[in-house]
Amino acid sequence: MAVIIVLSILLADQLSKFLADKYLILNNTVPLVNGIFHLTLVHNRGAAFGILRNQLPFFIIVSFIAIILIIAGLKNSGKNKFPLYKLSLNLMLAGILGNLIDRLLFGYVIDFFDFKVWPVFNIADSAITIGAILFGYSVLKTDMNR
């Protein structure tokens, strides 16, 4: 099941980025719900909020380290019976892989979801964020049950 989750998110992420790159114009916005939700193609050369711009080697190295740690966490997840723990690791793995593919292919991450009150993001970013929240919750929940 884990492979299906990771591959499904990765496929959705890469397909949506391909379509965004093909049909949107860089740095132009297309309002879907005016003032609330737009599609805005951005080439993000940093991390969240554009921090650490132009640090491509750093992001690639950190991504590989995170992937190794997540895979190790999944292999050892038998110790953690909380199902959200495994789901959280799979979500983060899919997101990290999605953005890593962009960095390796293009030197930047393709972002396009724009809520105007938050930095532009993509499906991989969403998977990482949701995975991190679920991870924190599952770790806290596991610690409370000890």
Check 13, 102, 111, 114 and give the catalytic one: 111
In the annotation, is 21 catalytic?
A: no
Euclidean distance between CA atoms 31 and 40, whole angstroms:
9
Backbone angles phi, psi at 60, to 5 degrees: -65, -45
In DSSP notation, the chain reads: -HHHHHHHHHHHHHHHHHHHHHHS-BT-EEEEETTTEEEEEEEE-SSGGGTTTT-HHHHHHHHHHHHHHHHHHHHTGGG---HHHHHHHHHHHHHHHHHHHHHHHHSSEEEEEE-SSS--B-HHHHHHHHHHHHHHHHHHHHHHT-
In the annotation, is 125 catalytic?
A: yes
Residues with catalytic roles: 111, 125
